[in-house]
A and B are shown apart, each in its own frame.
Chain A
Amino acid sequence: MGGLSPQVWRRVWRRQFLIQGCWNYEGMQNVGFAYSVLPALREIYSGRPEEALKSVKRHLEFFNTHPVMGAVILGAGLRLEERAASGEADPRGIGAFKVGLMGSLGAIGDSFFWGALRPVASVAGAILALIHPLVGIAALLLLYNVTHLAVRSRGFAAGMEGQEAAVAWLKKEALSVKTEDRKLMAAILGGVYAGVFTGQYAVHGETGLHTVVLFLVGAAAIHFVTMMFRKAVSPSEILSFLLLVGVLILWR
């Protein structure tokens, strides 16, 4: 926990959820980061307003990372502030530390949370919503938030123990391995979703060949749309095109 009082520690932990509260193109999460660390800086530099001011200015510099992974940087940054306040570390190193970590942790977080965990939660939610909408929503929220809140909590605590503990925690978490596992899970669930929906269009009494052709058409359509996504065609563009086709159908 470092030298922070439990109340301040909890306040900073809560404030990390607002790290994107004033997201802007120039400084991105800078105001949110400064807001999160402010209670701790007030305590660390109590009775030294000039140093507190300098420290807040440091944290108003450009900052952008994945919002969940920001917890680790927040904790480790505060630990560095404590060391800087007691003269054990150079305050100029704090900015460099943040800049050094935000890119790599941002990439890890984007890949794990947006590219792997969210698809698993979403597709599980979409499938279970067929049973009951509330079951689907509960599945989506639980699957995502159990991991999300655990990473925020453990990451912040590890960061508060110092840079080495933060690195050790990141190694132990092995998010890149977990990313691969979640992607595999998303592929399985996505396959189930696609198979069930394509299968619904099979007509009773059709020949086996018709059924195979139906499956192949579905698989080819998915492959084609995936290729379009890979070529940076957005879902909005595809839906707009379909809307145009729909209008032409009505016009006919």
Chain B
Amino acid sequence: MLWRFLLAGVLGGLCYLDRTAACQLMLHRPLVAATLMGAIFGNLAAGAQVGAVLELIFLVHLPVGASMPPDDTGAAIFAGSAAAVASSSIGLDGGSFTALILLSVLFAELGKAADRMVRKLNGRIAHLTRESVDRGDLQAVEHGLLAGLTLFAASGAVLALLFSGAGMAVSKFLLPRFGPESRVDFSALQPVLPLIGAASVFACGRTERTAGIFFLTMAAAFGATVFFRWLV
């Protein structure tokens, strides 16, 4: 089990690096992070299931300027690891799935607070870098950047460890406390989640031109789905 957490820390740290500090190759997106965590904790498909829903739900928040979006990577790390663990114990039924998606919001907000703290500490690093450059030390720029990167990576790795650990704890100890009937009750909220994701996509690029097309395509896809279900 220890190697799983070590791997979660390392890969989670890499995802967090990609989020702000390095590359922005979208390795930090919930679909990728949750699937990775699912694979580490034994069920890739379960991780992807929660990752796909979180991917769209948090899309609407754009990281523009100094605004700080919720930490969807952290939410995905929690939900992905929890979904994989749940699938091998109580099973990832509708209630557990919904509960994990909804609980992930706590980790999205915790991660956001940690991100804010890292950026504040980076302000101190930037200040020290400027002071060193004023004294004629050009290499301080490289050291400053390395310090900033290390801070982002270290905080990412710690968050990934904590969030995947929390995911495991929730699936092992919290979810089994609720019986199958309670989980069926909870699953009543499940249909709302993909709709929030769809609304998030729609809100991202909503213009007069796209509004009609969105609902027309929705109607066509709805009709096709109903038709195929009827055929099968």
Decide whether A and B are members of one complex. yes
Residues in A lying within 8 Å of B, measured CB to CB: 17-18, 20-28, 30-32, 34-35, 38, 42, 49, 52-53, 56-57, 60, 64, 67-68, 106, 110, 114-116, 118-119, 121-123, 125-126, 129-130, 133-134, 136-137, 140-141, 144-145, 148, 180, 182-184, 186-202, 204, 211, 215, 218-219, 221-226, 229-230, 234-236, 238-240, 242-243, 245-246, 249-250
Q: Is the CB of B56 within 8 A of A126?
A: yes
Given contacts A191-B218, A246-B99, contact A199 B198 (CB under 8 A): no
20 additional A-B pairs beyond A226-B203, A235-B200, A250-B178, beta carbons within 8 Å, are: A25-B66, A25-B119, A57-B130, A60-B133, A118-B26, A122-B55, A122-B201, A126-B31, A129-B31, A133-B47, A186-B210, A187-B206, A191-B220, A194-B198, A194-B214, A197-B191, A198-B225, A219-B215, A224-B199, A235-B196
Partner of A246 from the list B27, B125, B186 (CB cut-off 8 Å) is B186
Residues in B lying within 8 Å of A, measured CB to CB: 20-27, 29, 31-32, 35, 38, 44-45, 47-48, 51-53, 55-66, 70, 98-99, 101-105, 108-109, 119-120, 122-123, 125-127, 129-130, 133-134, 136, 138, 141-142, 144-149, 152, 178, 182, 185-186, 188-189, 191-192, 194-207, 209-211, 213-226, 229-230
Q: Is the CB of B221 within 8 A of A192?
A: yes
> In whole angstroms, what is the CA distance A238 to B189 when docked?
12
Dominant secondary structure at the A interface: helix
Smallest beta-carbon distance B199→chain A, Å: 4
* Residue of chain A at shortest CB distance from B206: A226
User: What total of A-B pairs shows CB separation below 8 Å?
Assistant: 336
* Residue of chain B at shortest CB distance from A143: B26
Q: Is the CB of B185 within 8 A of A219?
A: no
Q: Is the CB of A243 within 8 A of B214?
A: no
Residues of B within 8 A of A20 (CB): 20-22, 24
Report 16 cross-chain contacts, Cβ distance below 8 Å, ordered by A residue: A18-B22, A18-B149, A38-B141, A52-B138, A60-B133, A114-B63, A116-B205, A119-B204, A122-B29, A125-B31, A137-B32, A141-B25, A192-B217, A198-B218, A199-B223, A222-B202
